[in-house]
Amino acid sequence: MTALAHAPLTQLSEEENLFYSTVRQFAGETIGPLVRQMDDEQQFAAGLVEKLFALGLMGIEVPEEMGGAGGTFFDAVLAIEAISTVDPAVAVLVDVHNTLVINAMRRWGTAEQQGAWLPRLAADTPGAYALSEAGSGSDAFALQTRAEATEGGYRLNGRKLWISNAREAGLFMVFATLDPAAGYRGITAFLVEKGTPGFTVGRKEDKMGIRASSTCELIFEDCEVPATTLLGEPGKGYKIAIETLNEGRIGIGAQMLGLAEGAWGHAARYAKERRQFGKPIAEFQAVQFTLAEMATEIEAARLMVYNAARLKDAGQPFVREAAMAKLFTSQVAERVASQCVEIFGGNGFVRDYPAEKYYRDAKVGKIYEGTSNMQLATIAKLVLS
CA separation for the pair 273, 164 (Å, rounded): 38
Burial 319-335 (b: 16+ CB within 10 A, else e): bbbbbbbbbbbbbbbbb
- 355 contacts 292 by C-beta, under 8 angstroms: no
Q: Which H/E stretch holds residue 219? A: strand 215-226
CA separation for the pair 66, 74 (Å, rounded): 20
CA separation for the pair 219, 59 (Å, rounded): 27
Interacting residues of 279 by C-beta distance below 8 A, sequence separation 6+: none
Interacting residues of 336 by C-beta distance below 8 A, sequence separation 6+: 259, 260, 263, 264, 294, 297, 298, 362
Return the bridge partners of 226, or none.
153
Q: Which H/E stretch holds residue 162? A: strand 153-164
Nearest to 331 by CA among 292, 359, 365: 365
CA diameter of the chain:
79
Nearest to 39 by CA among 207, 260, 261: 207
Q: Which amino acid is at 2?
A: T
- 192 contacts 218 by C-beta, under 8 angstroms: no
Rg value, the chain, Cα: 21
CA separation for the pair 318, 13 (Å, rounded): 21
Q: Which residues are known catalytic residues? A: 369
Q: Which amino acid is at 301?
A: A
Nearest to 305 by CA among 328, 336, 331: 328
- 3-class SS shares of the chain: helix, strand, coil, % to 5: 60, 15, 25
